[in-house]
Every structure is written in C-alpha cells, then in structure tokens.
Amino acid sequence: MKQLQEKILTDGKVLSESVLKVDSFLNHQIDPSLMHEIGDEFAARFGNEAITKILTIESSGIAPAVMLGLNLGVPVVFARKRKSLTLVDQLYTASVHSFTKNETNEISVSKDFIKSDDVVLIIDDFLANGQAALGLVDIVEQADAALAGIGIVIEKGFQTGGSMIRNRGIRVESLAIISSMANGKVEFHQEVPSV
Amino acid sequence: MKQLQEKILTDGKVLSESVLKVDSFLNHQIDPSLMHEIGDEFAARFGNEAITKILTIESSGIAPAVMLGLNLGVPVVFARKRKSLTLVDQLYTASVHSFTKNETNEISVSKDFIKSDDVVLIIDDFLANGQAALGLVDIVEQADAALAGIGIVIEKGFQTGGSMIRNRGIRVESLAIISSMANGKVEFHQEVPSV
C-alpha cells in the first residue's frame, strides 16, 4: 500500500535494525484518515470472504480494525491484555509474549462475542515474531470459528512470524512488508499484486 | 443521543446500581457504525471549536475518538496506561485511579504530540468519578494547550465526576447521561438541547 509505505518513510523512526517507531500515526498518535484508507484496503483484499467478525488486540489494532468494520458492516472485538473485574468468566484466553516489552500477557476474549458460526478476520498493527497473531488464532480455534485470514498493517518481513503463520496455511495480507532496516533505512518488499 | 440510549437499553447489562456493562458495543466488542454516529454527534457539538487534536485514553476511548478525528480531519492521541520501552522519556504523566478495577495507573502522553498551540478535545467512553478525565485535563494543562472540552459517550450522572468537572468551568458534553440504575433499570436524564 503505497500511501502507507510513504508514511512509514516520512514519519517512521528506525530505532535499531529491528525496532521501528510509528508513534506519530499508528501506535500513540493516530492518523484517522490513513486508518480509513487502511480499512478500505483490507476490505478490498478480504471483502469476498463473508467475514462476520473482526478480531484484534488492544490498543493499536483497534483503529484500523474499526475502520475496516465500518467498511464491511461487521462488529469488531478486541482481545484484552488483562482481565477486567466486570468480565471474569466465560473467556477464551491465550498467552502472548511481547519481545518488545519483554513480558507475557494473558489475552482474553469473551465467549459471547466469537461463536462457532463466525467467519473471523484477525487484524493487527504489527507482525514480527507472530506471537500476538498466533494468540488470536488460538482464540479463533478455541471458539471453533472459521478463520478468513490475518490482515497486518506493517510486517517485519525479516522476522519469522509471517513465514511461520503462512506455513500453517493461513492467509496473511500485510499492507507494508519491511525487508530491512539496516543502517537506519527502511526497505520494503516489492508489492506483489493480489490474485 | 437517542440511538445510543436505545442501544444501552437493549444491549447494556446492569450489574449493580453503579456498574453498567456495555461490552457488546463499546468496551470489548465494538459497533463501528454506532461509533461513526457517535463521532458525527461529537463533531456536531464541538465542530465550531477549531480543534487541532483529540486526546483519549486506551483502550475503549480509541474507537469513538478515531471516528471523530476522521470527521474533523484532526489526529487522535491516546494516553497509554503504562510506559512502553520504546517511549521512555519526554512524557507528560498523570496518575489515574480506577475504582472499577481498584488500581492506580500512571497514564502518559508523549510531549511530541500535544503542543502549546494545540486546541484539544478530550474524548472518553465513560464518565463516573471523573478520575480519567481529570488525568487527561492535567496532561493538557502540562502541555499548556487550550482545552476545548470533554466529550463523553456515557456519563453516570449519579456519580460526582460530571459536576466536579463542570464546576471547574470545563465544557462537558455527554451523549447519554444515566440518572439511575436502581432495580436493574437504566434511566436517562432528559436530553437538554445544545445551545
């Protein structure tokens, strides 16, 4: 997605060969217009999948997921990273380790909101080692729902998550795939036209 | 806002005289179409305020804030409840106690994203005792930015936050104000037409 790649190049900050900070439009400050475009792009890629529910994880997945949900006319569910006192039973849970934050979170989704007749599309902001995405896949499987695929805003193509998940036969669509951040310079995989 | 009141009556769950669960459309599952309407309603109420930035707090404030940001064409910043390793300095911080979760969080916003020439509108999902809203006001004041007001999706009018904040001369617009949840029944304040 050309507009997203340009935004990453102009506003992203490469902190190391593996850490990209996009706090100015995705992870802390949010560019609603870009999120709207991202939602439309996900809809174009997954719109023929009869999706009934979008599943994401708090907090940075919510904005792109809600814009996609508006486009497709389906609800969004965000997995919580901690249990809330008003939501203590009837949960699907999975453990997700964040290498960035060096911590393991229990993520949870109420059984009320993912059912076995749902066709679920997972949306997340980043795909690196794939732990968050796999935790969400785990929850979809626990619910015995169908998984339409995974839509990612920014994939770190030089990390193993993307290939690991695709090797499981899961469709992954990433709107920007970074091939390298060596020497402080972001380089993208060439855009492969969708079939 | 009539559509929101109806949604609360049909889909909200009164867990006690003070706890309303709206996990099916706002706090866990999100209704994107309703969020879009909510964004439009906030825009109608605050659209003449020359707002340059919307400030909310993760996670449930993000969806309505981003829809409002899309309408007004301005960025959204969400305060974080914990510091991230990629964002350790240059922060405005405030302490916020949650009575629901019985915990105090440090909330933080990067100094990069709220500046002294900003006109900030605060958006949040709930207003009860007002602690979260006051934490966000504190951050706007630390930034020496102008505060246009506070937009709330659901206000618990029987708790003290709303009057405490309005008594400070801050404009608060709540799209649904609950006057009572006694006997498991939600009752609303009569809608007062905006001047």
Annotated binding-site residue numbers of A for xanthine:
20, 27, 156
pLDDT reported for residue A84: 54
Chain B residues within an 8 Å CB radius of A70: 32-33, 35-36, 67
pLDDT average, residue stretch B135-162: 98
B195 confidence band (pLDDT: 50, 70, 90): very low
Question: Using the beta-carbon criterion (under 8 Å), do A32 and B100 form an inter-chain contact?
Answer: no
List the one residue out of B136, B11, B16 whose CA is nearest residue B78.
B136
Nearest residue, CB atoms, A32 vs list B69, B102, B112: B69
Contact between A143 and A118 under an 8 Å Cβ cutoff? The reply is yes
Write the DSSP assignment of A12-63 as a string of letters. -EE-SSS-EE-TTTTSSEE-HHHHHHHHHHHHHHHTTS---EEEEETTTTHH
Distance from CA of A170 to the nearest CA of B (A): 24
**Cα separation of A158 and B102, whole Å?**
42
Select the CATH number that applies to the domain covering B2-188 from these four: 1.10.287.110, 3.40.50.720, 3.40.50.2020, 3.30.420.40.
Answer: 3.40.50.2020
A50 confidence band (pLDDT: 50, 70, 90): very high
Contact between B166 and B136 under an 8 Å Cβ cutoff? The reply is no
Quick check: A16 contacting B, CB < 8 Å?
A: no
Quick count: other Cβ atoms within 10 Å of Cβ B164? 17
To test the contact with chain A by mutation, choose from B13, B16, B19, B29 the residue with the greatest count of A C-beta atoms within 10 A, namely: B29
Helix axes B32-46, B2-11, angle to 10 degrees: 140
A192 confidence band (pLDDT: 50, 70, 90): low
For domain A2-187, give the fold.
Rossmann fold (3.40.50)
Write the DSSP assignment of B74-138 as a string of letters. --EEEEBSS--TT--SSEEEEEEEETTTTEEEEEEEETTT--TT-EEEEEEEEESS-HHHHHHHH
Burial call B4-18: b when 16+ CB within 10 Å, e when fewer: bbebbeebbebeeee
pLDDT reported for residue B39: 98
The stretches of B146-186 forming alpha helices (DSSP H) are 161-166
Say whether pLDDT at A85 is over 60. Answer: no
* Mean of the per-residue pLDDT values of chain B: 93
Q: Write down the ipTM of this complex.
A: 0.94
| A166 contacts: CB under 8 Å, gap ≥ 6 | A172
pLDDT reported for residue B85: 47
**Cα separation of A57 and A77, whole Å?**
8
Distance from CA of A181 to the nearest CA of B (A): 16
Side chain identity at residue A135, one-letter code = G
pLDDT average, residue stretch B41-67: 97
Residue B112 Cα to chain centre, angstroms: 22
Say whether pLDDT at B145 is over 60. Answer: yes
Q: How many CA atoms lie within 13 A of B56 on its CB side?
A: 26
List the one residue out of B33, B69, B80, B109 whose CA is nearest residue A59.
B80
Tokens of residue B68, six digits: 């409002």
Chain A residues within an 8 Å CB radius of B101: 84-85
Annotated binding-site residue numbers of A:
20, 27, 128-132, 156
More confident residue, B79 or B83: B79
pLDDT average, residue stretch A40-48: 97
Say whether pLDDT at A97 is over 90. Answer: no
pLDDT reported for residue B193: 52
pLDDT average, residue stretch B79-99: 78
Lowest-pLDDT choice from A26-30, A102-106, A136-140, B152-156: A102-106
Share of chain A above pLDDT 70, in %: 94
Burial call A56-83: b when 16+ CB within 10 Å, e when fewer: bbbbbbbbbbbbbbbbbebbbbbbbbee
Say whether pLDDT at B84 is over 90. Answer: no
pLDDT reported for residue A195: 44
| B137 contacts: CB under 8 Å, gap ≥ 6 | B122, B147, B150, B165, B170
User: For residue range B161-178, what is the model confidence (pLDDT) as tens digits?
Assistant: 999 999 999 999 999 999
pLDDT average, residue stretch A70-90: 82
Quick check: B156 contacting A, CB < 8 Å?
A: no
Say whether pLDDT at A194 is over 60. Answer: no
Quick check: A58 contacting B, CB < 8 Å?
A: yes
Contact between B123 and B145 under an 8 Å Cβ cutoff? The reply is no
Question: Using the beta-carbon criterion (under 8 Å), do A33 and B86 form an inter-chain contact?
Answer: no
**Cα separation of B102 and B6, whole Å?**
30
More confident residue, A105 or B91: B91
List the one residue out of B27, B13, B99, B21 whose CA is nearest residue B62.
B27
**Cα separation of B143 and B78, whole Å?**
15
Most confident of A103-112, B81-90, B111-120: B111-120
More confident residue, B77 or A105: B77
